[in-house]
Amino acid sequence: MDVPLWIALLVVGYLGIKLFRPPVWLICVLLLGGYLLADSLLASVIDTAVK
């Protein structure tokens, strides 16, 4: 079964929010930080470290 990545991320995010109940500000910081890191110079460094 092939599931698109965005659907898997939505499901995991929804379950994480429902089960662990993190504060809203923490979710916003993580989303904004990930978005800003993806467009920065560190994106290539993170990409090679992950691979």
pLDDT at 39: 82
pLDDT at 44: 83
Cβ contact 43:37 at 8 Å: yes
Report pTM.
Answer: 0.59
Within 10 A of 13 (CB to CB), how many other CB atoms are there? Answer: 13
Which amino acid is located at 34 in the chain?
G
Residues 6+ apart with CB under 8 A from 46: 37
Q: What is the mean pLDDT of the chain?
A: 86
Run means of pLDDT, 10 residues per run, the chain, 51 residues: 85 90 90 85 82 80
pLDDT at 33: 87
pLDDT at 26: 92
